[in-house]
Amino acid sequence: MITEDPKHQDIHEYLAEMEDIPGTRVFTAARARVGYHINQFAMSLMNAENRAKFKADERAYMDEWPLTEDQKQALLARDYNRCLDLGGNVYFLSKLFSTDGIPFAEAVSTMTDMKFPEYREMMMQGGRSPEGVRSIKANEAAAAAKKEDR
């Protein structure tokens, strides 16, 4: 369970591992750079006046920020997985959840293949098991081995 002393961590291996988790976008420097303005835009919604301005005209408010068209479309659609792909971070995006007045867990559920009631029920039953969602590579290796067996 415990691996090598972290002092021996190679940065390239470290970053490659970060991309090996199914259904997860780790907020690495690469994502932080691409998403800088998404996150700073979201941060501006911590202010009541800005929230009101944004709600009055979302598109106009976002046009004041140096966001890409993709980023604006993802935000308008509240497509949070797409927002993550474009560098958004969930703690920043959560300012948009609260601006919309929706619970954090409900916003989180939209990133899964479940509707909110179903997601909430999964949490009540103890949450999602890590079984089978630890590693993309391990899953691929397991699938390949299974194929060979046939």
For residue 36, what are the CA distances in angstroms to 87, 130, 141? Answer: 7, 30, 35
For residue 104, what are the CA distances in angstroms to 37, 41, 112? Answer: 22, 18, 13
Question: Nearer to other proteins by C-beta: 4 or 69?
Answer: 4
Question: Nearer to other proteins by C-beta: 45 or 150?
Answer: 45
Question: Nearer to other proteins by C-beta: 14 or 60?
Answer: 14
Q: What angle do CA 62, 74, 96 make, to 5 degrees?
A: 60
Regarding 39 and contact with other proteins (CB under 8 A), the answer is: yes
Question: Token match 């797409």: residue?
Answer: 82
d(CA 62, CA 57): 9
Name the segment binding other proteins (CB under 8 A); options: 47-55, 56-64, 65-73, 139-147. 47-55
Name the segment binding other proteins (CB under 8 A); options: 52-60, 63-71, 100-108, 142-150. 100-108
Judge contact between 88 and 32, C-beta under 8 A. Answer: no
Structure token pair of residue 39: 């996150």
Chain residues in the site for other proteins (CB under 8 A): 1-7, 9, 14, 17-18, 21-29, 32, 36, 39-40, 42-43, 45-48, 51, 80-81, 84, 89-92, 94-95, 97-99, 103-105, 108-109, 111-113, 119, 122-124, 126-130, 133-135
